[in-house]
Structure 1
Amino acid sequence: MKFAPGVWWYAVPPLLLAFPAFVVSPTLGGLFVLAAAGTLFFFRDPERTPPFTGIVSPADGKVSEIRTEGDQLRVCVFMNVHDVHVVRAPDDGVVERVEHESGGYRPAFSKESDRNEKVHVGFEESEVTLIAGAFARRITPYVEAGDELERAERLGHIAFGSRVDVLLPPGIGYPDLRVERGEKVTAGETKIAGDASANGEWEWAENEELAD
């Protein structure tokens, strides 16, 4: 099993503490072992197989909100504690900017989380935003401006974090969406928007078998 970078900073301390803790109390030692195992589980980074076309979800979790911002749609994905927290590129593209935005650490399922700490990864027409949650204290982007990414390629990780937004390119409307609020999605695999037509405009694929 592959793990996200930085996992050992969190997993090794409880493992080291487990040995002296077992001397004091087997129960206490077991709790430290469970904490280390839980950390490894949280930082797991499985391989994903993306579809050939369309825009994919940048994160594992549940679609918590879909809203309009100007001429673009924003799809918000809430990650639960048991979800993989490695964030992936929604489509092929070149990273134009990586920006950190300071903020709070409110629960990611609340509307106040829009003011939480964030890292924005901007592409030419879209943007992925990694948002800290109530227990998140570290957002780690893997990319920098100028990097060329393929669909579903890893672009960052949120340590104990909880929400990822994708601002879709202009021209994608509600009829082009492949997901709805409350739906479970898988990073790099679940298609959240339809395929581009030959003239560059986004439209719902006429042949679903070819699109998938």
Structure 2
Amino acid sequence: MFHKEGQKIILITFFIVSALILGSQYAIEIPWLRLGIQLIAVVILILILQFFRNPTRRANKNFDEILAPVDGKVVVIEEVEETEFFKDKRKQVSIFMSPTNVHVTRYPASGSVKYSKYHPGKYLVAWHPKSSTENERTTVVIRTPKFGDILYRQIAGALARRIVNYAEEGDNVQQGEDAGFIKFGSRVDLFLPLDCAITVKLNQKVIGAETCIAAVVKRNEEGEITY
């Protein structure tokens, strides 16, 4: 299954690859050169299909958990000052996506969209500390039943030159559903309440709509913290 954002480029690539294969078959007499061009064309098509794949994910919806919005690797876990919306301290968890990761963005929690804004900007490499505030990005805030307001931010990188965001203010959204797409590698930042429990570690690989990023802190009868 492929994401709808890739339908046009997949179709164009398919026709170009088909033309190269057919054209080289009749126009190039040197066998190794003809085969090489055909193999390169097929590899390019496979890479495009790989990039726009959209595996079916059915999240086990849970108000007590924040799920990963994207596939990738956790590169930041820290307490920061969030300056765009909350203007106070939050726990930040950042997930970096390589070009080989699934690039679908999914809602990390169920709730209502309170804020959704696009920001034009630079194209610093996605792991640059300033990319969260200076790169092209979209910011979405979801009001959730258990965590209150949470924020996630899609950030363009050096290669990602188009961010697609489906969230609109007033929408009621469901955890794990399609929230957008980032083309050709980037990152997503989550800004969460200070009193939640982060359940991932640095450099951990996560899967969108499956891996729990944070949980509501609970205590048992002995006063011990549980998730």
- After TM superposition, the score normalised by the length of structure 1 is 0.85
Cα separation, 1, equivalents of 2:36 and 2:14: 14
Deviations 1:83-137 (A, max 9, x none): 1111111111111122111111122122242321101111231111111111111
1:136 pairs with 2:160: yes
1:127 pairs with 2:151: yes
Quickly say closer, same or farther: Cα 1:197–1:151, change in 2 above 3 A: farther
* Residue aligning to 1:58: 69
Superposition RMSD in Å: 2.1
2:91/2:192 contact within 8 Å kept: yes
* Residue aligning to 2:122: 104
1:72/1:168 contact within 8 Å kept: yes
2:154/2:189 contact within 8 Å kept: yes
Residue 63 (structure 1) shift = 0.4
* Residue aligning to 1:67: 78
Cα separation, 1, equivalents of 2:218 and 2:56: 29
* SS of alignment partner, residue 78 of structure 2: strand
Larger of the two Rg values belongs to structure = 2
Q: Give unpaired runs (5+ residues) of structure 2.
A: 25-33, 81-87, 144-148
Residue 185 (structure 1) shift = 0.8
Q: Give unpaired runs (5+ residues) of structure 1.
A: none
1:44 pairs with 2:65: no
1:179 pairs with 2:200: yes
Deviations 1:171-208 (A, max 9, x none): 32xxx11011111111111111123659xxxx9862xx
Structure 1 stretches of at least 4 aligned residues deviating more than 6 Å after TM superposition: none
1:195/1:204 contact within 8 Å kept: no
2:112/2:171 contact within 8 Å kept: yes
Aligned length: 199
Residue 14 (structure 1) shift = 2.3
Cα separation, 2, equivalents of 1:48 and 1:179: 20
Quickly say closer, same or farther: Cα 1:8–1:204, change in 2 above 3 A: farther
* SS of alignment partner, residue 122 of structure 1: strand
- 2:36 maps to a residue whose letter is T
2:17/2:45 contact within 8 Å kept: no
Cα separation, 2, equivalents of 1:196 and 1:93: 19
* Residue aligning to 1:87: 105
Residue 40 (structure 1) shift = 1.4
2:156/2:163 contact within 8 Å kept: yes
Cα separation, 2, equivalents of 1:38 and 1:72: 37
1:54/1:196 contact within 8 Å kept: no
* Residue aligning to 1:78: 96
* SS of alignment partner, residue 64 of structure 1: strand
- 2:79 maps to a residue whose letter is T
Residue 38 (structure 1) shift = 1.1
* SS of alignment partner, residue 45 of structure 2: helix
Cα separation, 2, equivalents of 1:138 and 1:78: 16
Cα separation, 2, equivalents of 1:205 and 1:44: 39
* SS of alignment partner, residue 4 of structure 2: coil
- After TM superposition, the score normalised by the length of structure 2 is 0.80
